[in-house]
Amino acid sequence: MAEIAYPAVNFETHPDRYRHWKLDVQGAIATLTMRVQEDGGMWPGKYELKLNSYDLGVDVELADAVQRLRFEHPQVRCVVVTGGYDKVFCAGANIRMLAQSSHAFKVNFCKFTNETRCGIEEATDSGGAVYVAALNGTASGGGYELAMCCKEIYLIDDGNSAVSLPEVPLLGVLPGTGGLTRLTDKRKVRRDMADVFCTKAEGFKARDAVKYRFVDASFARSKWQASLDARAQAVAGANPMPEGAFSVVLEPLAPSEVAGNHLEYRYVTVKVDNEARVAHLTIKAPDTAPCADSSTWALRAWRELDDALLRLRVNHLDIGLLVVKAEGDRHKVLEADAALETQGWFGREVQLFQARVLRRLDNMAKTIFALVEPGNAFSGSLFEIVLAADRSYMLADDDGINKVFVSKVSGGLFPMHSGLTRLQSRFPGAPGQPAKVLAVGATIDAEGAEELELVTMTPDEIDYEDEVRIAIEERASLSPDALTGMEQNLRFGGPETMDNKIYGRLTAWQNWIFQRPNAVGERGALKMFGAPERPVFDYKRT
């Protein structure tokens, strides 16, 4: 089965253009109905999205809906996620799509889906809408994983519908969007029963699914809708809308694209050098006063950064190094940060979004270098990018004008997947250092940044350009596989959380399995799925 040659992916959409989801908002309750169009795959004619199975296009719409619910519909206190076809909720990721996709695409598909799932969980945990899964039929694989990211799961008891994670017995892979971790860490399923469940292709129907905690409850078909309506009302009633919340319509980003390798947004610019395998990303400081709508820099610029990261991740696989600069007036950045603290619900939602973007940056399978040069805007929230980078180079200029400012936002507003701040993660052997940095309360020049261990290197004006050039050329010459493994290990230090397990452990092993012949070989389980012949396995275990 030949791999799909797919065009560049656009991650912007709108409910008016959804093909696979319907978003219905009725007061404090919203219903997200998944009704995937069989012929509506991202690459028409290559596969059919049968049984409400999904591809990246379906997930792009879901991610958009989750984001819009947070900003455009803050009155929604409960989101019911259900299926639009009788007797099936969701069959998971489309097997034909996976079998025909490149390894890199499968990895990025799983990663994006994971980030969307974690975003749903954060919405509930941070005081947003509570998500409830209403499984109106069988939920298998990624369909059940989607259900598990919701706070509550209800399964119809019709004698046929079941929940399952059939990846191991049917496909020779793992539940790639956090399924194993959520079973044990979130739903508190016993390890031995999780073992039975994950090797039982047909899964568990209502009685056993409730008994072993795979769902919270089941309702007979005759009582299904009434029971769900009552539960949604109760959930919404127990989750009042934040004081002062209002609708914020997310304006289109619509970047201009030049020759496929140059993206221009209002505040973000991306220039791709395919020959050098390097992308240069520049984010500009605010040029207008803060306000409380989607045009304000704190939301607009960070949405642009998020979109740029996704495009770089999926559409520019050969790019191994992301060189980031921030330019403009640092005082404007600090002013924008300070304004969020006075803007109540809106300010808090924007800060939560910025934190999600920074975690997306952490998850980039590309080296990140931050260049701190005169005229830089790496202060306040933007200094988090320096802390997120694998390396940072700060020019020690003779005039002493090259400075940064570390503000209190680095003290806890932007937690990593580990729950640590990036300052805490930076100093594992010096727990008192973050407080020392935060107490400075003034601009910090290159000498001070080196003393405080905030940057990697501080070359002077004679050596700066050469050192940066050599570092970039050296990085581009190294094995991308080895670099990705190295960087992800170093970035995911600290305590182990459910998120850390999903990204640092489960996804890593899922990606390894996606390369093994037992899964993707010519007689592997993914390639043979649906064929009359059984897959052929190499039974040696290593």
- Mean pLDDT for the stretch of residues 491-505: 87
Phi and psi torsions of 13, nearest 5°: -155, -170
> At which of 432, 461, 483 does a domain end?
483
Q: What is the pLDDT of residue 176?
A: 83
Confidence of residue 108 (pLDDT cuts 50, 70, 90): very high
230 and 298 together in one domain: no
Q: What is the pLDDT of residue 36?
A: 98
Q: Is the pLDDT of residue 258 over 80?
A: no
285 and 232 together in one domain: no
H or E segment to which residue 281 belongs: strand 278-284
Confidence of residue 425 (pLDDT cuts 50, 70, 90): very high
52 and 194 together in one domain: yes
pLDDT tens for 59-85 read 999 999 999 999 999 999 999 999 999
Q: What is the pLDDT of residue 513?
A: 87
Where would I find the H helices in 73-200?
Answer: 95-100, 103-125, 142-148, 179-181, 191-198
Q: What is the pLDDT of residue 151?
A: 98
- Nearest partner of 79 among 150, 142, 20, 135, judged by Cα: 150
SS3 content of the chain, % helix, strand, coil (to 5): 45, 20, 40
pLDDT, averaged across the chain:
95
Cross-strand pairs, 513: none
281 and 354 together in one domain: yes
Distance from C-alpha of 129 to C-alpha of 316, rounded to nearest angstrom: 34
Angle between helices 297-315 and 330-340 (to 10 degrees): 110
60 and 144 together in one domain: yes
- Mean pLDDT for the stretch of residues 311-339: 97
> At which of 439, 468, 483 does a domain end?
483
Sign of CA dihedral 224, 229, 234, 240: positive
Q: What is the pLDDT of residue 7?
A: 76
232 and 270 together in one domain: no
SS3 154: strand
Q: Is the pLDDT of residue 509 over 80?
A: no
pTM of the model: 0.96
pLDDT tens for 153-197 read 999 999 999 999 999 999 999 888 899 999 999 999 999 999 999
Task: Report yes or no on 538 lying in a domain.
Answer: no
Q: What is the pLDDT of residue 2?
A: 66
Task: Report yes or no on 531 lying in a domain.
Answer: no
Task: Report yes or no on 496 lying in a domain.
Answer: no
Q: What is the pLDDT of residue 150?
A: 98
191 and 149 together in one domain: yes
Distance from C-alpha of 272 to C-alpha of 282, rounded to nearest angstrom: 12
Phi and psi torsions of 391, nearest 5°: -145, 155
Q: Is the pLDDT of residue 382 over 90?
A: yes
Distance from C-alpha of 11 to C-alpha of 279, rounded to nearest angstrom: 19
Q: Which domain holds residue 408?
A: 260-483
Task: Report yes or no on 92 lying in a domain.
Answer: yes
Task: Report yes or no on 385 lying in a domain.
Answer: yes
Q: Are 422 and 355 in contact (CB under 8 A)?
A: no
Instruction: Please indicate whether residue 519 or residue 407 has the higher confidence score (pLDDT).
Output: 407
Q: Into how many domains does the chain fold?
A: 2
Confidence of residue 405 (pLDDT cuts 50, 70, 90): very high
Distance from C-alpha of 304 to C-alpha of 288, rounded to nearest angstrom: 16
Task: Report yes or no on 541 lying in a domain.
Answer: no
Distance from C-alpha of 177 to C-alpha of 145, rounded to nearest angstrom: 7
Task: Report yes or no on 497 lying in a domain.
Answer: no
Task: Report yes or no on 153 lying in a domain.
Answer: yes
Q: What is the pLDDT of residue 1?
A: 60
> At which of 196, 222, 237 does a domain end?
237
289 and 435 together in one domain: yes
273 and 182 together in one domain: no
Distance from C-alpha of 85 to C-alpha of 293, rounded to nearest angstrom: 37
Q: Are 12 and 110 in contact (CB under 8 A)?
A: no
- Mean pLDDT for the stretch of residues 259-275: 93
Q: What is the pLDDT of residue 5?
A: 66
Instruction: Please indicate whether residue 99 or residue 208 has the higher confidence score (pLDDT).
Output: 208
Q: Is the pLDDT of residue 4 over 70?
A: no
Locate tokens 């009788």: which residue?
86
Residue 358: which CATH number?
3.90.226.10
139 and 53 together in one domain: yes
**Cβ atoms within 10 A of the Cβ of 280, count?**
17
- Mean pLDDT for the stretch of residues 207-219: 98
Locate tokens 């709508």: which residue?
293
Q: Which of 2-6, 184-188, 271-275, 382-386 has the lowest mean pLDDT?
A: 2-6
Q: Is the pLDDT of residue 284 over 80?
A: yes
